[in-house]
Amino acid sequence: MPRSDRIEGAMPRFQTTAVHAGREDFVELCVHAPPLDLSTTYPVPDLDVGSASFDALVAGQASAPNPIYARLHNPTVARTEGAIAALEGTQACVAFASGMAALTAVLLARAQHGRHVLVVRPLYGTSDHLLASGLCGLEAEFVQADQIAARRRPDTVLVVIETPANPTLALVDIRAVVEAAGDVPVLVDSTFATPVLQRPAALGATYVLHSATKFLGGHGDVIAGVVCCDEAHAAPLRTVRAATGALLHPLAAYLLHRGLPTLKLRVEAAQANAQVLAERLARHPAVARVHYPGLPGAVNGHLVGSQMAGPGTLLAFDVHGGHDAAAAVMKRVQLITPAVSLGSVDSLIQHPAGLTHRVVEEAVKAATGITPGLLRLSVGIEDVEDLWQDLTQALASS
């Protein structure tokens, strides 16, 4: 994707947008920090206006003269949604209580149109489990990206991909998937890339999903999910959100908005660290293989510099010795935190087969490269030499 820091219809450059989006009325309001509205209910002095507002919000409109009730609308959440939509370059953003709530809402909205979903693996373990289980009333067919056109059916209502993929960092060509999908909407989980490195809507994706718990929040203190899309696809998501009670809490929205101004700075600093660590791990005798888009031989690595502006901040590596060796590394790290999640300012390491992807069938894990010795490292913004020292001493036990 030809990249520019300019976003059509928004502020001229990405970093300026990250700082100022959602703050356009601050001078008028005479505030400098985003207002935090914790109301659960709102006065309804005019019943006719209240009834009309209720109908509008339940139908999926972005706003109404009266918010009525926080499950239907919250001003702090709406402000954060506008800021994130500006970063992704979409008309709308709909925020949810978690990334999984966001994915569930898309699936429920699409289930009104048919029952068949095409899914490209690998993807986040719980996303895989939700799709495979059929809990949302959909039949998920797992395919390779180059099989999408051939597997499309009249009742296919969605194509789901995650790129970079969790946990192997494999890249999927979004333009090619969109072309193969035809008139079927494509959902791209772009959590690993963030809008700093990748904007799937510009490549034709209908839905752009983020676990905003990760980079968008960036400090390990927010659980949130967002879907960026056009207004026509946002309205059904708001209807689902209102009916299921999956609205993001306003305090979480406030914290999420607070993290956006430093998003680009955090991603670029962590990405520089990740490149160094990936190159060094690839030469370490205890490491069998490193998965990182910035290394030679990466799956679809040619997409770095076109679809993605850079290789990102996540990497995964297989250690010789399998599960026991991987467990030993997690036990021995001292600076790096052994924990799930990613995208925080500090570095986290975890074992996909035993944690985030434990719910995925063993055969699927084996087929998608999720081996017993695989560790996923979310690289933070610490000094890279300190991170490397911690990794080398931990690997000495494997």
Q: Look up 42 and say whether it is catalytic.
A: no
Measured CA to CA, the distance from residue 98 to residue 87 in angstroms comes to: 19
Identify the active-site residue in 23, 121, 152, 189.
189
Identify the active-site residue in 79, 110, 121, 124.
124
Q: Look up 365 and say whether it is catalytic.
A: no
Measured CA to CA, the distance from residue 250 to residue 254 in angstroms comes to: 6
Measured CA to CA, the distance from residue 340 to residue 86 in angstroms comes to: 29
In 3-state terms, the chain is what percent helix, strand and coil (to 5)? 40, 15, 45
Identify the active-site residue in 110, 121, 152, 214.
214
Q: Look up 5 and say whether it is catalytic.
A: no
Residue corresponding to tokens 């797992």: 142
Identify the active-site residue in 5, 37, 69, 71.
71
Q: Which long-range contacts (CB under 8 A, 24 or more apart) does 58-64 make?
A: 58/239, 58/242, 58/243, 59/235, 59/239, 60/234, 60/235, 60/236, 60/237, 60/238, 60/239, 60/242, 61/235, 61/238, 62/92, 62/231, 62/234, 62/238
Measured CA to CA, the distance from residue 346 to residue 153 in angstroms comes to: 44
Instruction: State the DSSP string of 251-284.
Output: HHHHHHHHHGGGHHHHHHHHHHHHHHHHHHHHT-
* Nearest residue to 272 (alpha-carbon basis) of 235, 241, 233, 311: 311
Q: Look up 124 and say whether it is catalytic.
A: yes
Q: Which residues are catalytic?
A: 71, 124, 189, 214
